Chain A
Amino acid sequence: GAVVSQHPSWVICKSGTSVKIECRSLDFQATTMFWYRQFPKQSLMLMATSNEGSKATYEQGVEKDKFLINHASLTLSTLTVTSAHPEDSSFYICSARQTSLLYEQYFGPGTRLTVT
């Protein structure tokens, strides 16, 4: 149980275009989903917290207009990287938290974004 999927697993896009990444909790309802960014050989950096039905909360330094987050249902959150630039190339990981469990997060497999 407690599986989180991400789609796509990798994507290549051209500079200036937008790309959407989906995060789904497959067998549980996720009140909260988190979006992280991971640079090569570095730790996870929290970008934003997404609560179902409300606006996402972004961490300091993360551009909310660039990284649009939508959490329309208890099983789906999306991250849209708008007007992508090569510096946005990274590994994006989502996680989901079950309502009944306080801090426990289940992680998706990640999405590799390459902007050319």
Chain B
Amino acid sequence: AQRVTQPEKLLSVFKGAPVELKCNYSYSGSPELFWYVQYSRQRLQLLLRHISRESIKGFTADLNKGETSFHLKKPFAQEEDSAMYYCALGGSNYKLTFGKGTLLTVNP
């Protein structure tokens, strides 16, 4: 069975500090991994997909198959990064399995 684990429910950092949101997955096949973000009172939106190896809003995420991880990182957090972040794993029939989410708060 596929599973996504985000061990931190809450993460609080100061502006300008590095931030890392952890995500571990369990999947028997070749994983397709994503990070979604939900800003306050807004809909869920795609932030990153591992396959494109892109950097969005300063965030990056590297797939580590050995550690079955897909941690989200940003070297210098901004207040506008405060949001709920969900790691998601693509499975059969294009379904996504979401982690429980990490609420990031960036303090001034």
Q: Chain A residues in contact with chain B, CB under 8 A?
A: 32, 34, 42-44, 46, 49, 57, 93, 95, 97, 102-110
Instruction: Report how far A95 CA is from B90 CA in the complex, Å.
Output: 14
Q: Chain B residues in contact with chain A, CB under 8 A?
A: 32, 34, 42-46, 49, 86, 90, 93-101
Interchain nearest-CB distance for A25 vs B (Å): 13
Known: A103-B32, A104-B46, A110-B43. A43 touches B93 (CB 8 A): no
Cβ 8 A contact of A34, one of B45, B95, B100, B101:
B95
Residues of B within 8 A of A32 (CB): 93-94
Known: A32-B94, A44-B86, A49-B93. A103 touches B34 (CB 8 A): yes
Interchain nearest-CB distance for B75 vs A (Å): 26
Interchain nearest-CB distance for B31 vs A (Å): 11
**Which residue on chain A has the smallest CB distance to residue B44?**
A107
**Which residue on chain A has the smallest CB distance to residue B93?**
A49
Interchain nearest-CB distance for A61 vs B (Å): 14
